[in-house]
Amino acid sequence: MKQTKYSLILLGCSVIWGSAFVAQSAAMAYGMEPFAFTAVRMLVGAACLMPFIYLRRKTAIPAAKEGKVRLVRSGVLIGLTVAVASWLQQVGLQYTTAGKGAFLTALYILLVPIVGAAFFHRKTGVWTWLCLVIGGAGLYFLSITEAFTLEKGDALVVLCALVFTLQILLVDKFAPEFDALTLCCLEFLTAGLLSFLPMAMFEGFGFVNIRPALWCILYCGVFSCGIAYWLQIVGQRHLPPALASLLMSFEAMFGAFFGALLLHERMTSRELLGCGLIFIALILSQVLPNQGNK
């Protein structure tokens, strides 16, 4: 019952993240620069969480100096991975569709157990591996056609998936130690401030076309950052990283759905097959035993 509750929380993350691909693509269509967009959305996400942290400051922030230092260090480290992954994803979305970008980002479902086993000594049960294989097959049918070539946008989003893999594993490591809201806020604050560096190098300090893209910024900042990443930390506290990554990878299916609904991106029968396989992987992840994941 407890696992189902937190699985639903992470599934909620995937719904928000999937729909956010539409907002991210729309912001680029409005002419906003990718690094400027990332900087603003991340800082909006951090600002949304600050009032709640202030109200809970006695429990949200460690009393000991050593604990505060470790909290800041952990938040900055996770924020660095979020910044790099977001840069790669946002630039990549200039050259690929929202639906395909969502599918390629979700490649982390295959990478999390592999990297976790190789570098973090994580054990993954055989049934979870089965779900990962089915989910990976679904991603294959969703993102790769007979004439598929790894174009510039696709390559950048695949690199984004690699960095998000590290972010998921770092959240799994640090989330049990600290308050979720505080860790999340530090994560966004770091990512937002770091984004000003590539913005200054490649785009200048002007926030071009920010007004028409304002709804995109607010949606991604408040919902995709402020709410969904906080839910990720809460959910990952109680689930093994391989299962958590599988649930969050459903952003691919929701990204395709919202891309078709709002951006009129058509789905082929091959892509629908991929959605079906990912749905099967989700169901199996909930009904099959997952011993060996903890």
**pLDDT score of 147:** 61
pLDDT in tens, 155-208: 899 899 999 999 988 988 888 889 888 999 999 999 999 999 999 999 887 677
243 lies in some domain: yes
Contact 230, 1 (CB under 8 A): no
pLDDT in tens, 211-250: 899 999 999 999 999 899 888 888 888 888 778 878 887 8
**In which element (H, E) is residue 268 found?**
none
pLDDT in tens, 15-36: 999 999 999 999 999 989 999 9
292 lies in some domain: no
User: Rounded distance, CA 50 to CA 56, Å?
Assistant: 10
> 3-state secondary structure string, 191-206?
HHHHCHHHHHHHCCCC
User: Rounded distance, CA 132 to CA 113, Å?
Assistant: 9
- Sorting pLDDT into bands at 50, 70 and 90, what band is 293? very low
Find the DSSP H helices in the chain: 2-29, 34-55, 57-60, 65-92, 98-105, 108-119, 126-143, 152-174, 180-194, 196-202, 214-218, 230-236, 241-248, 251-262, 269-287
**pLDDT score of 148:** 59
Residues of the domain holding 94: 2-287
pLDDT in tens, 112-155: 877 877 776 777 778 878 888 888 888 778 776 666 566 788 88
293 lies in some domain: no
97 lies in some domain: yes
For 31, left (φ over 0), alpha (ψ -120 to 50), or beta? left
89 lies in some domain: yes
294 lies in some domain: no
23 lies in some domain: yes
pLDDT in tens, 31-86: 899 999 999 999 999 999 999 899 888 888 888 889 999 999 999 999 999 999 99
Number of domains in the chain: 1
